[in-house]
Amino acid sequence: MKLTVQILLLIALLVLPVTGRGQSAAFSFQGQLGDGGKPATGRYDFFFRLYDAAAAGSEVAPAVVAQNLGVTNGYFTTALDFGLAAYQGGAGRWVQVEVRVAGTTDAYAALLPRTALTPVPFALYALSAGQVAVTNLPTNLVYSTQLQATNAALLTLVGNEGQMRTNALAGQLAQLLSTSNSLSGQLQATNAVLAASVA
């Protein structure tokens, strides 16, 4: 009976809706721009280039262009998205900023030194986590290595969802109505027939 309850609890946890957020590689970039020794104010065109070194090195992604960007009292902010591929391999990355007055055909002036990109204290996206051990993951998740069943053909893990054959619970309803069972989570049933209410 305990095994049946454990299996049902595991299944309930596996079928809970998982909220996934598609994260992009975009991040906010803020800077301070001076013009003639004073804080700049006005409209400027910017080129942002991503390199694999603080000096020299190779450009690792297409440049991001921000035209006609407003600068107030020397400060500007914009979103940069070099794409996820630019960060593969875990090596350091540096942003080179190039700027000119908006609406002109002047050459862009590179602002040096390049700015190092550093990890953020709160990130929602991991480029890869293929080498993470199960012991390092949250304790409120169930993994295929933790599933145990006396009849494995009744319970399977497909992707991140648990699936149970329709006849897996046949004859087990009385055991679920016991007062010693403790279940939590969400249970969805199609054409459910309830013999008694559960408090």
On whether both 15 and 42 belong to a single domain, the answer is: no
**What number of other Cβ atoms are within 10 A of residue 172's Cβ?**
13
Q: Of 40 and 162, which is predicted with more confidence? A: 40
Tokens of 144: 């295929």
On whether both 7 and 32 belong to a single domain, the answer is: no
**Residue 173, CB half-sphere, CA atoms under 13 Å: how many?**
10
On whether both 18 and 40 belong to a single domain, the answer is: no
Q: Which domain holds residue 66?
A: 27-116
Query: Is residue 53 domain-resident?
Result: yes
pLDDT at position 95 over 60: yes
Query: Is residue 123 domain-resident?
Result: no
Residue 196 banded pLDDT, cuts 50, 70, 90: very low
Query: Is residue 137 domain-resident?
Result: no
Residue 171 is predicted with a pLDDT of 46
Query: Is residue 128 domain-resident?
Result: no
Query: Is residue 122 domain-resident?
Result: no
| Cross-strand bridge partners of residue 106 | none
Q: Of 143 and 13, which is predicted with more confidence? A: 143
Residue 194 is predicted with a pLDDT of 46
Query: Is residue 64 domain-resident?
Result: yes
Residue 169 is predicted with a pLDDT of 52
CB within 8 Å of 71: residues ≥ 6 apart:
33, 40, 41, 42, 43, 44
On whether both 2 and 39 belong to a single domain, the answer is: no
Domain total in the chain: 2
Pairing of strands 42-51, 38-39: unpaired
Query: Is residue 86 domain-resident?
Result: yes
Which region among 12-26, 89-103, 129-143 has the lowest average model confidence (pLDDT)? Answer: 12-26
Q: What is the mean pLDDT of the chain?
A: 72
| Cross-strand bridge partners of residue 162 | 157
Residue 90 banded pLDDT, cuts 50, 70, 90: confident
On whether both 1 and 46 belong to a single domain, the answer is: no
Residue 150 banded pLDDT, cuts 50, 70, 90: low
Q: Of 46 and 9, which is predicted with more confidence? A: 46
Q: What DSSP character marks residue 107?
A: P
Give the residue among 78, 95, 75 at the shortest CA–CA distance from 35: 75
Q: How far apart are CA 129 and CA 57, in angstroms?
A: 28
Pick the last residue of a domain from 61, 96, 116.
Answer: 116
Q: Of 39 and 129, which is predicted with more confidence? A: 39
Q: How far apart are CA 132 and CA 169, in angstroms?
A: 34
Note the pLDDT tens digit of each residue in 97-145. 999 999 999 999 999 999 998 876 555 556 556 556 656 666 656 555 5
Query: Is residue 121 domain-resident?
Result: no
Residue 81 banded pLDDT, cuts 50, 70, 90: very high
